[in-house]
């Protein structure tokens, strides 16, 4: 028997599996559980978008596309980002179509980070930035965003985290799991810190269409920021297309040119039929997005009011589709709270610690579920905390 | 406030309290609006979607196309009224195209439906002709796909 621990790369062995995953394993085989855990839309991809992919298959579009994606799709992405967020990127050499937002993040980090470089990662946040940084030989530097700051990254905290080794700042807003957003004023303060440095920004804007009350602003649209930004986004959350695995990067051509090499060798190109579907999504998907956004918004108001009614302190999330209530008043760790809620009340939520140590004291509750489903879960949660 | 109507159309069992939270309005305002809609006949009723095929009820449903001679002054309204007054008639539409009225009815048996068409509809003075189409299968009604039970197929990651 081989001793795999001596064979498998030390870097990979040192990476912890996703804390979200770990919690889901507890769910396996339990049937009475109401889950509020998933991080993907409950809507099925709109039919007209699915039809576009089906037609592409009927027409025999089964070959690789060019490495960066079809010109048609890149042009649509360029038009869309301009129309929605005032960003100007040349479809010819500043856009890469990727396998989900995840690949976009991976491309950016691997292309920019030298061994030993520091990557500043606000937490709580999605789980992938740190491990990908480590795989690239970089050093993740975590910065805690706090409830009293509405889980925004503050310029002071950013300044404190910057060292001569800082290569990259990850800006994951609208944020999973907190639902926090960064307004133009918030971003302007961050931009002020970065101007005149060589620090790059990876702006993960996968939830850019899911903001409630005000429009998302991309940091790349602020003065002098474009040259240092890589915008990563995708189709998963906006068009309910998680399974299609399609995202993209927007970056200055010098950066895109280098990222394209990584993409070329690792991926070749994003799935062809998904790209055809995505063209249709961007051309004719606005009404779908409006419908889904307004539906999420209703659920958001309902769940936040419900949680507060039960007695939770709950930050008002302005983006994504998660509520992030503070559970510390019940005297349990996040993980114990989530575990007991599952065991005793049959409701599954994700402990905040899955998104960084600073998630202690919080749980993530997804509202990508019907109001009826949420109502049942809230009932159970209320009974549970009343018995604590 | 079409938002309120859309929400109710989709799920009439949601309480005014829930809807108020969803729409960021006062409960009192929501109740008032619902009352008003009911009074004005915007909201006409609250029903339940039932897949009768899953029960042991025996029934057939049919759509009957009618050609009509419209009457001076009263157009189609008079004959329409004569038809919709039959409780057997579930829906009645005035249509553009090659026929005039579309009648939807449910009966216990095909015989019963045929009898209704021959005895009740065809005998109305202004009815020129009838054409009866029996429904073989209902795939979708009121935005609900029939026959399937929705399952949340989402994986749990991320």
Nearest to A249 by CA among A194, A211, A205: A205
Spatial contact of A352 and A334, defined as CB atoms under 8 Å apart: yes
Q: Taking 70 as the threshold, does the pLDDT of residue B155 lie above it? A: no
Residues B90 and B127 reside in one and the same domain: yes
- Residue B158 forms part of a structural domain: no
Q: CA B26 to CA B35: how far, in whole Å?
A: 14
Return the pLDDT at B121: 96
For B19, the domain range is 2-40
User: In this predicted structure, which of A16-30, A56-70, A135-149, B93-107 has the lowest mean pLDDT?
Assistant: A16-30
Test mutation, B14, B140, B154, B155, chain A, max A CBs within 10 A: B154
CA atoms within 13 A on the CB side of A206: 33
Q: Taking 60 as the threshold, does the pLDDT of residue B157 lie above it? A: no
Sign of CA dihedral A322, A324, A330, A335: positive
Smallest Cβ–Cβ distance between A24 and the set B7, B23, B156 belongs to B156
- Round the average pLDDT of chain A to a whole number and report it: 96
Q: What is the mean pLDDT of residues B37-63?
A: 95
Main-chain phi, psi angles of A194, to 5 degrees: -85, -25
Return the pLDDT at A210: 98
pLDDT per position as a tens digit, A302-359: 999 999 999 999 999 999 999 999 999 999 999 999 999 999 999 999 999 999 999 9
% of chain A exceeding 70 in pLDDT? 99
Residues A11 and A135 reside in one and the same domain: no
Return the pLDDT at A45: 97
Q: Which residues of A touch B24 (CB under 8 A)?
A: 301
Q: Which residues of B touch A35 (CB under 8 A)?
A: 152, 156
Q: CA A111 to CA A252: how far, in whole Å?
A: 13
Q: Taking 70 as the threshold, does the pLDDT of residue A59 lie above it? A: yes
Test mutation, B7, B157, B158, chain A, max A CBs within 10 A: B158
pLDDT per position as a tens digit, A61-84: 999 999 999 999 999 999 999 999
Residues B82 and B114 reside in one and the same domain: yes
Return the pLDDT at A38: 87
Spatial contact of A323 and A349, defined as CB atoms under 8 Å apart: no
Q: Does the beta-carbon distance from A371 to B22 stay under 8 Å? A: yes
Q: The domain spanning residue B121 has which CATH number?
A: 3.30.70.920
Number of domains composing chain B: 2
- Residue B155 forms part of a structural domain: no
**A320: alpha, beta or left? (left if phi > 0; alpha if psi -120 to 50):** left
Q: Which residues of A touch B3 (CB under 8 A)?
A: 294
Q: CA A159 to CA A156: how far, in whole Å?
A: 5
Angle, helices A100-112 vs A253-266, to 10°: value is 110
Q: Does the beta-carbon distance from A371 to B14 stay under 8 Å? A: yes
Residues A25 and A173 reside in one and the same domain: no
Q: Taking 90 as the threshold, does the pLDDT of residue A23 lie above it? A: no
Q: Which residues of B touch A127 (CB under 8 A)?
A: 158
Residues A29 and A85 reside in one and the same domain: no
Q: The domain spanning residue A194 has which CATH number?
A: 3.40.640.10
Q: Which residues of A touch B14 (CB under 8 A)?
A: 371
Q: Which residues of A touch B21 (CB under 8 A)?
A: 301-302, 305-306
Q: CA B140 to CA A193: how far, in whole Å?
A: 57
Q: Taking 80 as the threshold, does the pLDDT of residue A166 lie above it? A: yes
Residues A144 and A262 reside in one and the same domain: yes
Helix, coil or strand: residue A135:
helix
User: In this predicted structure, which of A21-35, A188-202, A205-219 has the lowest mean pLDDT?
Assistant: A21-35
Does residue A124 have a cis peptide bond before it, meaning omega lies within 30 degrees of 0?
yes
pLDDT per position as a tens digit, A131-162: 999 999 999 999 999 999 999 999 999 999 99
Smallest Cβ–Cβ distance between A298 and the set B22, B152, B157 belongs to B22
Q: Does the beta-carbon distance from A38 to B3 stay under 8 Å? A: no
CA-nearest residue of chain A to B152?
A42
Return the pLDDT at B1: 72
Q: Which residues of A touch B25 (CB under 8 A)?
A: none
Which residues of B sit within 8 Å Cβ distance of A?
3, 7, 11, 14, 18, 21-24, 152, 154-158
Q: Does the beta-carbon distance from B11 to A375 stay under 8 Å? A: no
Provide the ipTM: 0.77
Q: What pTM value is reported for the model?
A: 0.90
The pLDDT-based confidence of B150 (bands split at 50, 70, 90) is: confident
Nearest to A36 by CA among A349, A265, A250: A349
Distance from CA of B62 to the nearest CA of A (A): 29
A43 touches chain B (CB under 8 A): no
Return the pLDDT at B129: 96
The pLDDT-based confidence of B156 (bands split at 50, 70, 90) is: low
A24 touches chain B (CB under 8 A): yes
For A300, the domain range is 4-45+287-386
Residues A275 and A293 reside in one and the same domain: no
Q: What is the mean pLDDT of residues A247-255?
A: 98
Residues A257 and A131 reside in one and the same domain: yes
Residues A278 and A129 reside in one and the same domain: yes
Strand partners, B119: none
Residues B80 and B107 reside in one and the same domain: yes
């Amino acid at each position: 028997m081989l001793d795999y621990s001596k064979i498998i790369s030390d870097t990979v062995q040192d990476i912890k599996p996703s804390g979200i995953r770990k919690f889901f394993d507890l769910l396996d085989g339990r049937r009475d559980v109401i889950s509020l855990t998933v991080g993907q839309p409950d809507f099925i991809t709109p039919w007209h978008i699915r039809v576009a992919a089906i037609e592409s298959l009927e027409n025999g579009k089964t070959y690789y596309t060019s490495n960066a994606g079809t010109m048609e799709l890149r042009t649509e992405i360029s038009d869309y980002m301009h129309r929605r967020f005032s960003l100007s990127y040349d479809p010819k050499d500043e856009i890469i179509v990727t396998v989900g937002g995840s690949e976009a993040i991976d491309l950016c980090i691997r292309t920019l980070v030298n061994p030993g470089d520091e990557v500043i990662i606000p937490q709580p946040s999605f789980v992938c930035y740190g491990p990908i940084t480590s795989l690239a030989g970089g050093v993740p530097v975590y910065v805690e965003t706090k409830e009293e700051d509405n889980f925004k990254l503050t310029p002071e905290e950013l300044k404190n985290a910057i060292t001569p080794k800082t290569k990259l700042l990850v800006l994951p807003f609208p944020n999973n799991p907190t639902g926090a957003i960064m307004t133009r004023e918030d971003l302007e303060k961050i931009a002020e810190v970065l101007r005149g440095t060589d620090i790059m920004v990876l702006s993960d804007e996968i939830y850019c269409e899911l903001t409630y009350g005000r429009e998302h602003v991309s940091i790349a649209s602020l003065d002098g920021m474009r040259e240092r930004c890589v915008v990563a986004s995708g189709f998963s959350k906006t068009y309910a297309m998680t399974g299609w695995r399609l995202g993209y990067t927007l970056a200055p051509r010098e950066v895109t040119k280098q990222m394209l090499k990584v993409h070329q060798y690792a991926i070749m190109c994003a799935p062809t039929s998904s790209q055809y579907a995505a063209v249709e999504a961007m051309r004719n998907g606005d009404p779908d997005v409006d419908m889904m956004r307004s539906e999420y918004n209703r659920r958001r108001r309902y769940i936040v009011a419900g949680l507060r009614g039960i007695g939770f302190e709950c930050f008002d999330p302005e983006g994504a589709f998660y509520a992030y209530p503070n559970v510390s008043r019940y005297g349990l760790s996040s993980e114990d709270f989530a575990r007991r809620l599952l065991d005793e009340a049959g409701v599954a939520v994700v402990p905040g610690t899955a998104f960084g140590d600073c998630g202690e004291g919080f749980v993530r509750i997804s509202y990508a579920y019907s109001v009826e489903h949420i109502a049942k879960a809230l009932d159970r949660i209320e009974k549970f905390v009343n018995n604590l | 406030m079409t938002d309120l109507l859309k929400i109710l159309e989709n799920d009439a069992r949601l309480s005014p309290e829930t809807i108020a939270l969803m729409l960021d309005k006062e409960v009192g305002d929501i109740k008032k609006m619902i009352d008003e809609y009911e009074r004005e006949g915007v909201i006409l009723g609250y029903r339940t979607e039932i897949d009768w095929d899953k029960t042991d009820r025996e029934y057939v449903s049919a759509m009957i196309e009618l050609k009509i001679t419209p009457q001076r002054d009263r157009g189609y309204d008079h004959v329409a009224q004569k038809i919709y007054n039959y409780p057997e008639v579930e829906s009645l539409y005035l249509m553009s195209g090659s026929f005039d009225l579309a009648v939807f009815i449910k009966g216990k048996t095909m015989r019963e439906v045929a009898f209704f068409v021959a005895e009740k509809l065809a005998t109305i003075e202004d009815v020129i002709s009838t054409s009866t189409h029996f429904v073989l299968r209902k795939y979708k009604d009121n935005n609900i796909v029939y026959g399937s039970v929705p399952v949340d197929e989402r994986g749990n990651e991320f």
